[in-house]
Structure 1
Amino acid sequence: MHIDIITVVPGLLEGPFAHSILKRAEDKGLASIRVINLRDYSTGKQKQVDDYAFGGGAGMVMSIEPIARCIEALQKERAYDEIIYMTPDGATFDQPMANALSLSQNLLILCGHYKGVDERVRERFITKEISIGDYVLSGGELAAAVVADAVIRLIPGVLNDETSALTDSFQDGLLAPPVYTRPAEYDGMEVPDVLLSGHEAKINEWRFEASVRRTQERRPDLLRDNQTGKSDTKSYKK
């Protein structure tokens, strides 16, 4: 997988992609991420990429011209499965969306800034608009890093244990069950006996029931969605 990210603040993305799983994926040759400075596509002396909004109002708007030059230049290099715009009014990012995007070969992500981009950018170039939550960030860079992390970790071979991603929260419409490690007893707090039993079927049953219970307690909306057909996962009503 290759991901290009267009930004006016490339320094914000240096840290997330230089460590941990994302760096491991790049080192293994399973994914590559390129951060592109939008100012390189501005023709003005000041490398300006924004302007005042028509009709007035507070805040600046990212101009269509440098964005168009950038995207069109990148499209000459490769065909993108999706051209994504990170925006608070996009579709809410979730695990099924991450799963779908992980099957892509090439992704292009545009990070918004200021009061957003000229609407004509969205009309002409953008194929998918994504939000990571109902709040506003200073720009789309951190949101783009979230999407890249969630997607790249699903690529086969990125995680040391490929089954790990399949047992994450939300993969089956449930939150993950509690997990424990050594010691088996700490300050009077003990690991459930079933997890020490070595009985795989009973352990799986315990984990499933614990997942359902935790989801009912913390995210009952997930179970409601399953039961009303809003999700592809089955109903877990016991």
Structure 2
Amino acid sequence: MSYITPGKVYLVGAGPGDPGLMTLRGKTLLEHANVVVYDALVSPAILSMIGAQAVQIYGGKRSGRHSAPQAEITQQLIQLAQEHAVVVRLKGGDPFMFGRGGEEMADLIAAGVPVEVVPGVTSGIAAPAYAGIPLTHRDYSSSVAFITGHEAVDKYRPSVNWQALAKGAETLVVYMGVQNLGRIVEELLQAGRSPDTPVALVRWGTLPEQTELFATLATVVTQIQVQDFQPPAVAVIGEVVNLRQHLKP
């Protein structure tokens, strides 16, 4: 407890779900927190680590089912920091990997609230690993890109440059991309990626209910429909997907 500073907000990465992947620092903070504001994708096994003394507040966000606007959640954290010694903002995966942790940290610092970030294992690395897919391999991929697939379809000037990514990285890892995968596939094919490029989708990665779908750029959209494959899932695009045949435990 000596290295926990009172009067601070801790942005803690909960990891991808498997409690064995939670960091020791994160676990210690959950055990001593006064209040924990947790996200939707934090697994029950991780929530069970929270000490009995802590107030638990749901602050999760899921597509189409947001509990509260981001600004409201940040304002809540500022208020809680004035009332409690140890406030934990528990975020799925890693706070800085498509978790809006950077935005929350900037707003907290601007409000004069001390903040510490505790990194977590991100699902974009853990889920493929549990499916037997290495993101890099000396013979198949020396580059990997992590991308959000959650941009609105009608967004003006999308910030993701799929044309550049198709040529710039051998392995693509797409977060939150199931709903927009049709548009993503179209962009990659237009940029010159082969229709035969292997694709893997890993749902609920690292958890007992983990499920996987394997296809190619040419077939993945149809396979999602046929199998009624639902989010949340991580997509891996690249030749490394084929290594699962040799590396899956």
Give the TM-score range, shorter chain.
Answer: under 0.3
Scaled by the length of structure 2, the TM-score of the pair is 0.26
Normalized against structure 1, the TM-score is what?
0.27
Larger % of helix: which? Answer: 1
